[in-house]
Every structure is written in structure tokens, then in C-alpha cells.
Structure 1
Amino acid sequence: MTDLFPDPHRVPDAAALAQARAILEAARDAVLSVLDPQGWPMVSRIALQADAEGRPLAMLSDLALHTAALRADRRAALLLDAPAKEPGRGMSLTHARLSLQVEACPVPPAEDEALRRAWVAHDPKAAVYARLGDFRLWRMLPRGGLLNAGFGRAYRLTAADLAFGGHDERPGD
């Protein structure tokens, strides 16, 4: 039997991997998707940066529903938009974006202080919430994802494709 709908995703080349890395490096926020306690998906916008290994790092409030959901089920997804070349121009669906399937893991207390300092150094406005007692850092360990780099340029990414490493001046350096 012939597949009526062949997989439209390409195998990523060096340019696609560089674009995915650039989107992650530029990210300051993302859309987080989790499963609530009843198993229903829910989304919220969160603060995000990449750590020294290129993994997404989120700062989440213990009071947030998405944090409670992650404590119950660490499976999640992130959607990161590429920075607009010309803000306010064009439809958002024409901009590149990176979708990641992740496992969310709280950062161990021994790593928290250094990562938090690096986070605030990279985003000084974050000092307002980074010092609050209910905010915790979470590593979002990529399991796979998709890069939509524009019309007809979609790439399926593996965990190995997303192991960028070697960031400069990022949390965890």
C-alpha cells in the first residue's frame, strides 16, 4: 500500500541545525505545554534561556499550574519563535520556529545559585522575580523536535541533533 501522505520533514543539514541553535540561543521566552492532573493539555508563556550545554532552562514559579503539572508528569513541549527580522512585519506563521519535546527536571540545589546568577547577568530585568522564594530553575532536556524554517523547509530533530553545547556567556558557564 502506498503512503498517501509521505513524511514532509527533511533530515536536518548543518544549516538547519545552526538555525535551530540560533533560535534557542536568542530565546528569552517560550510557550510551554504540559498535561494537567486530569490529562488535558494546557499552555503558558514562560521565561527561558539556554544553559551552557545548549539545553533550555526555564525559571518557573512553584505557584503556577504548569509547575504542579510538571511535578506530576515531566513530559512537556516548548515552542520557540525565531526573532522577527523586522518586528511587526509579516504573518507570524511565516517566521521560523522550533518545537521541542522535553523532559522537565528541577535543577539540583547545588547548581541553583550559580545558574540563577548567570541568568540574571544575561537578563538583568529577571532580578525582580529571580530573587523570589517561589521561583525555581528547571532544565528542559530535549527528546526531539521539529524546526519549521519556512515554507517547504521542515526538519525532524533528534535528541542528538539538539545537543548543541559550547555556549558563551550562558547560564551554567
Structure 2
Amino acid sequence: MKNQRLAAELEQEIFAFLEAKKSLMLAVVDLQGLPIASYAPFVAHQGALYILVSSLANHTAALENANNASVLIIDDEADCDTVYARRRLQYDLVVEPVIRDSEHWQTIGDALLQRHGDIVAQLLQLGDFQMFKLSPRSGRFVKGFGRAYELAPNTLVSDQLDHIRG
């Protein structure tokens, strides 16, 4: 019973954390196998993360050719007691393009607009902006020293968390 309550509390904390953060740090590998780190504003929708990025950015070409990416969503340094134990979510993801002008493009575009404001309406009209769906394979929520939890597979937020022990 206590473990179920803790899992439910962690699930709510993860959901609130995702809602509070507006951007994610993105890691992908280009065609030559070189790593690229970047960031992008995001929206969580029906168990996946979505980003809208310019094809002029190096990470976009890598996303087009990648099946995998990793993202990190993390507390600001100014909001934590120690830089070594920042609260964070990390996901390993499957990357899929969202077809421009599809119903799904419109739905996610509206969600991005609501979350990030009027700039999104302009970006959606630019031909060089592409949308990607990032579906989780695995994830980890770290609250601090000795408080790291593996998420259930294929979920952004899960009430089935396993405490990681060293």
C-alpha cells in the first residue's frame, strides 16, 4: 500500500514537472556518427513529446535520419540546492516525423501554440520547420542523491516506478 501511494505521488510529480518545463535538451547522432546536442521547446501529448524545429539546424537533419534520440528535462541550476543533484527526467526515444498539414500536425500545432504562444503560429507557416514525435522507450526520474527511479517502458509518466539502488 505504501509503495502504491509513493508511486502515485511520483507519477503526479513527474506530470507536474513535465507541465512546468517548456524546453528539453536533445541528443542525437548525425550520419557520420557524431553527437549533436541542442534544445527545443516541447509539448507532451498522449504519451509522447513533440518538437517543432527548423531544418536549418544541425539537429533536424540528424532527427530526419535517426530512429533514436535522448532528451533531458532538468531543473534550472538556480532552483536547486546543489548542482550535483538537480531534479531531472531523461528519456530514450523513438523519432518519427509528423506529416505537414495532416490532422495530427494541426492537433500538435494547436497544443504547441497554446503552450508556447503566438510565435508558434508563425513557425508552423514556415516551410523549413518540421515537427517530430518523440515516443519514449525508457525513462528515468531523478529527484536527488539516492532518489532515482526507472519508469515503466514506453511511458512518459508512470505509476510503475522502480527505485534504482547502487
Name the TM-score, length of structure 2 as normaliser. Answer: 0.78
The aligned residue for residue 135 of structure 2 is 141
Greater percentage in strand: 2
The aligned residue for residue 91 of structure 1 is 82
- The code of the aligned residue for 2:67 comes to R
The aligned residue for residue 44 of structure 1 is 38
Q: Indicate the SS of the match to 1:13.
A: helix
Is 1:66 the equivalent of 2:34?
A: no
The answer on whether the counterparts of 2:139 and 2:155 sit within 8 Å (CA) in structure 1 is no
Moved runs in structure 1, 4+ residues, more than 4 A? none
Greater percentage in helix: 2
The aligned residue for residue 149 of structure 2 is 155
By how many angstroms is 1:41 displaced? 1.7
Is 1:101 the equivalent of 2:92?
A: yes
Which runs of no fewer than 5 residues in structure 1 stay unpaired?
1-11, 165-173
Aligned Cα root-mean-square deviation (Å): 2.3
Equivalences, count: 150
Aligned equivalents of 1:93, 1:54: Cα separation in 2: 29
Which runs of no fewer than 5 residues in structure 2 stay unpaired?
1-5, 159-166
Q: Indicate the SS of the match to 1:155.
A: strand
- The code of the aligned residue for 2:142 comes to N
